[in-house]
Structure 1
Amino acid sequence: MKLIKLDAIDSTNDFLKTLNSQEDLENFTMVTAENQTNGKGQRGATWATESGKNLTLSILTKNTLTPNDQVFDLSVITSLAINQVLEDLNIPQLSIKWPNDIMSYNKKIGGVLIENIHKSGGEIHSIIGIGLNVNQTDFENLPKASSLAVICNKEFDKTIFPELITARIKKTITEWRTNSEKLWQIYFQKLFKKGVPMPFQNTKNEHFMGIILGVSKTGKLQVQLEDDSIAEFDIKEITLLY
C-alpha cells in the first residue's frame, strides 16, 4: 500500500481525487496531511483539525463497488473497520453514529466522507476520507467532540493509524463479499442510541421523539415514531439531538 505524506493541503480527498485522474494509482493508495485547511464533512460541513495532532487520511479504493451494489455498503465497511482498529487499541465505549461518525461515550472522535467516481466502462473508484481526533486536547466551542488522548488520558502514535485502518478496510471488504449480512448486523448492533427514545429535528426545525431501529440498505435511518409508525430519513432530512 502506497502512502503519500503531505505537510499541508486544502483537502486530502481533493488531492487524491485529482491525482487519481492524472495517474494510474495503486489500489488502496493513502494520502495523509499534517494540516488540512479545507477538510470536508457530512452535510457540507467542514472538518476542523489542529495541525499535527490528528489523523487526516484519504484512501483510494478501486472497484470495491459495482453499479449494482448499494453505495452505502462502503460506508458500513469503513466505519466497522475503524471501529475494530480502535477496539483493538482498547478505546472504550465505541459506537457508530449514523451514518458513519465514530463515537466514544457520547463524544465524536472521528468521521468519514466517501466520494465515488464513476469511470468509463462502469468502474467505480471511491475516495474514503477519514478524520480521527488522536492527540488534540482543546475542543473549545466543540462540546460534542473529543479525542483518543482525552478519553484515554495518554498520547498516541498517530503514524500507526493509516496502515492499520487501510489494512482493516481491505480485510472487511473481503469479509463483506462472503458474508455481508453478518457485517450489517454488527453495524446495527453498534449504532449510537439504537433502541433508545431520542429527540430529533427535521428540516423545518421541528422537534419530535423517535426510536432508532436500524438503517436501510440504501443508508436511510429507520425510526419508530410516537404513533408507532416507522419512517425512513436521508442524511439531510433529520438530525439526532443528544
Structure 2
Amino acid sequence: MDIIKVDAIDSTNAFLRELNRQKQFDGPVCVMAKEQLAGKGQMGTVWQSEPGKNLTCSVFMQVKGIELVEQFFISIAVSLAVCDALNDLLITKLSIKWPNDILSDRKKICGILIENVVKNGSLNGAIIGIGINVNQLEFDNLPQAGSLKKILGKDLEIEEVLDVLLTKLEQRFTQLTTSSFAMLKKEYERLLFRRNKPSTFLDAEGNSFVGIIQSVNNEGKLQVLLEDEIVTPFDLKEISLLY
C-alpha cells in the first residue's frame, strides 16, 4: 500500500479526498499525519489528539460490487479490522460502540469516520479516517477516553500500529462480498457494546429512555427492544447510547 506521511495537516480525510479527485486512485492509499489540526469525528465532533502521540490516518480503499444500500458493511469491515489489529497488539476487552467507536473495557481508544466515494451512482471506494489513541495519557474533559499506553503501560511505535492496522484492513476488505455479509454482521454484533443489556439512550430531542440493543439491520440501523416489547430501528441522527 502507498503511504504518504505528513507532519501537520487540517484533515487527513479532506487531504485524501482531494488527492483522489485529482489522481483517481486505482488501489489503496494511506495518508498519515503527526498532527491533525481539524480532525473530525462522527456528527462533527472534534478529535482530541496531542501531536505525535497518536495514530491519525486516512486510507482510501477501493470498493467493488457493493450497492449503496449495503454501504454499512464497509463500516462493519473497518470496525472489525481495527479490532483485529488491536487484538494483535494485545489489547483486551474490546467492543464496538455503535456505529464504530472502538472501546477497551468501556474506554474509547479509536474513532472512525468513513466517507464513501460514489461515481455514476455506484460505490467506487471509501475514505476511512481512523484515530487511535496510542501514547497519549491525558484527555481534557473526556473521562471515557483511553489509550494503548494506558492499557499496556508502555509506549508503542505508532508506525508499527499503522502497519498492523493496514494489514488487517486489506484482509477485511477481501471479505467485502455479498456472500460474506452474514458472517461479517455476526462478528460485528458479537462485539456490540451493551448488546442484550438494558441501556439508557437519548433521542434527538434529548429525552432519555431505556432499551436493549438486539442487533443492527443491513442498513446499519440499531435494532433496540423497547419497553413495549417492540424492536425499533434507529439511525445515528435519532439516538445516542449513554455509557
Q: Shorter-normalised TM-score: what interval?
A: over 0.9
Distance of 1:68 and 1:106 partners within structure 2: 32
Q: How many residues align?
A: 242
Q: Which residue of 2 aligns with 1:167?
A: 167
Deviations for 1:118-165, whole angstroms, at most 9, x for unmatched residues? 124745221011010000001121101110101111111111122321
- Gap regions ≥5 residues in structure 2: none
Higher mean alpha-carbon deviation, 6-15 vs 62-71, is at 62-71
Shift of 1:84: 0.7
Counterpart secondary structure, 1:149 = helix
Distance 2:148 2:137 in 1: 9
User: Partner of 1:158 in structure 2?
Assistant: 158
Q: Is the 8 A contact 1:30 1:162 kept in 2?
A: no
Matched with 2:14 is: 14
**Cα distance in 1, alignment partners of residues 66 and 133 from structure 2:** 32
Preserved contact between residue 2 and residue 26 of structure 1 (Cα < 8 Å): no
Per-residue CA deviation, residues 13-38 of structure 1 (Å, 9 max, x unaligned), is 00000001111334110000000010
1:67 and 1:124 in contact (8 A); partners too: no
Amino acid of the residue matched to residue 187 of structure 1?
A: Y
Q: Which moved more, 1:182-191 or 1:65-74?
A: 65-74
Percent of residue pairs identical: 44
Residues 103-118 of structure 1: pairs in structure 2 closer than 5 A: 103-118=103-118
Amino acid at match of 1:184: K
Decide whether the 8 Å contact of 2:12 with 2:36 is kept in 1: yes
TM normalised by structure 2 equals: 0.95
- Structure 1 length as normaliser, TM-score? 0.95
Secondary structure class of the residue paired with 2:200: strand
Residue 91 of structure 1 corresponds to: 91
Residue number in structure 1 paired with 2:135: 135
Unaligned 5+ segments in structure 1 are none
What's the counterpart of residue 241 of structure 1?
Answer: 242
Work out the CA distance in 1 between the residues paired with 2:10 and 2:188: 31
* 2:79 corresponds to 1:73: no
**Could you say if the C-alpha distance between residues 114 and 62 of structure 1 is closer, same or farther in structure 2, counting changes exceeding 3 Å?**
same
Q: How many angstroms apart in 2 are the aligned matches of 1:69 and 1:168? A: 24
CA distance in 2, matches of 1:85, 1:117: 25
Q: How does 1:46-85 map to 2 (within 5 A)?
A: 46-64=46-64, 66-67=66-67, 70-85=70-85
Question: Are the counterparts in 1 of residues 68 and 122 from structure 2 also a CA contact under 8 Å?
Answer: no
Given that 2:95 and 2:103 are in contact with CA atoms closer than 8 Å, whether structure 1 keeps it comes out as yes
Tell me what 1:40 maps to. Answer: 40
Q: Hey, what's the Cα distance between the residues in 2 that align with 1:227 and 1:122?
A: 39
CA-CA distance at 1:111 after TM superposition? 1.0
Partner of 1:3: 3
